[in-house]
Amino acid sequence: MQKRKLGNSGLEVSALGLGCMGMSFGLGPAADSSEMITLMRKAVELGVDFFDTAEVYGPYVNEELVGKALEPFKGKVAIATKFGFEMDPNGGPKYIGLNSRPEHIKKVAEASLKRLRVEVIDLFYQHRVDSSVPIEDVAGAVKDLIQEGKVKYFGLSEAGAETIRKAHAVQPVSALQSEYSLWTRNPELEIIPTLEELGIGFVPFSPLGKGFLTGAINDQSQFAANDIRSGLPRFTKDAIEANQALVDLLSNFAKQKNGTTAQIALAWLLAQKPWIVPIPGTTKLHRLTENLGAAIIKLSTTELNEIQDAAAKIQVQGNRYTEAMEKMTGL
C-alpha cells in the first residue's frame, strides 16, 4: 500500500484508511464484534495503517472495538479519534449536545486512551465546531495534550476556512476531516485551497457517498430505523432515482478501467491531491479488498477531465444532512 503524508505535519499513513464507525454505530444494527476484529486485522495485513473512530460512535463501543482489534499492532498503526460531544450523564445511547471546553477535551483524551489501549492518541480531531468555545481555546487544550505526550497530532472535522486558520495559528492542524466525494464537492470551493495554503492534510469521510457510489443502493433500498441514511434527504426514493446518473457515470469508467464503481470513486479522490487520504468504511471483507484495489487504479488527466465534464452536467439532488445536522457543522 502506497503511503501519503497528511500535509506538512509529518503524519504519514496508508493512502487509504479504514473508517470504523459503521461497524458498531450509525448504519443499522451493529456487526458481530469478532468479525470486525478479524476485518480490521486483515486490513492491517493488506497495508492499511490508518483507522478512524470516535467516542460518540456507540457511544464508546467503537473505540473499545478498535482498541481491542489493533492492540497487537500498537505503534505500527495510526488511530484517529474525536472529541466534542457531551454524552448523556445517565448513560443514554445518544449525545445531548456539543462540548469542547478545554477541561472536557482533556477528560475525553484520558478516557479514549484507555478504550483504545494506547499511550498516545495519534490524531485527535474536534468532531464538530462548538460555537460556545473559542477555537483558540480548543487548539490550546490539544496543544497541552501534545506537550504532555498524550496526543501526537491535532485535527478538525467539518470546520470552515476561518476556523481552520484560527486553530492552526495556535496549534498546527495536521488534518481536516470532512465529507468529500463526487456527490459532495463543497470542499473544493474554499476548504481545499485553504488546506493547500497551510499545508494541512485532508481526510474525506463518506468517500463512497455512504454506500451510494458503490452502486449497491437503488430506489427500492430500505434502511433500518437506526441507520442514519433513513432520515437523510439525499436518500429519499426520488433523490436516489435522480442521483443514479452519477453512479452510471462511474460505472462507465469502471468498465473502461476494469474496475468497480467504488474503485473509480476512490481513485478519483486520490487523484485530486497527493495529501488526500480517504477513509471508506465497510463491514465486509470483500468490500475492504475492493476498496483497497482503488489505490492501484490510475486515472489519466484526460480521464479526470472527462469525469469532471460529465459530473458537471449532473445536478445532485437532496441535501446531504437534515437542517438540524447541518447546523452542527462549521461550514
Per-residue pLDDT tens over the stretch 142-182: 999 999 999 999 999 999 999 999 999 999 999 999 999 99
Rounded to an integer, the average pLDDT of 169-197 is 97
Do the bridges between strand 3-5 and strand 12-14 make them parallel or antiparallel, or are there none, so unpaired? antiparallel
- Within-domain flag for 189: yes
Average pLDDT, the chain: 96
- CATH code (residue 141): 3.20.20.100
* Torsion-angle region of 94 (φ positive above 0: left; ψ -120 to 50: alpha; else: beta): beta
Catalytic residue selected from 57, 125, 153, 321: 57
Give the per-residue pLDDT at 90. Answer: 84
- Within-domain flag for 233: no
Rounded to an integer, the average pLDDT of 70-99 is 93
Give the per-residue pLDDT at 331. Answer: 67
Q: Is 119 exposed, middle or buried (0-12, 13-18, 19+ CB in 10 A)?
A: exposed
- Within-domain flag for 313: no
Using 50, 70 and 90 to split pLDDT, how confident is the model at 183? very high
Which range marks the domain in which residue 282 is found? 3-209+273-297
Q: Count structural domains, the chain.
A: 1
Q: Report residue 128 as a C-alpha cell.
A: 464538530
Tell me whether residue 57 is one of the annotated catalytic residues: yes
pTM, two decimal places: 0.97
Using 50, 70 and 90 to split pLDDT, how confident is the model at 192? very high
Q: Is the pLDDT of residue 330 over 80?
A: no
Q: Is the pLDDT of residue 130 over 90?
A: yes
- Within-domain flag for 305: no
CA 126 to each of CA 41, 158, 209, 303: distance values in angstroms, whole numbers, following the listed order: 27, 9, 22, 36
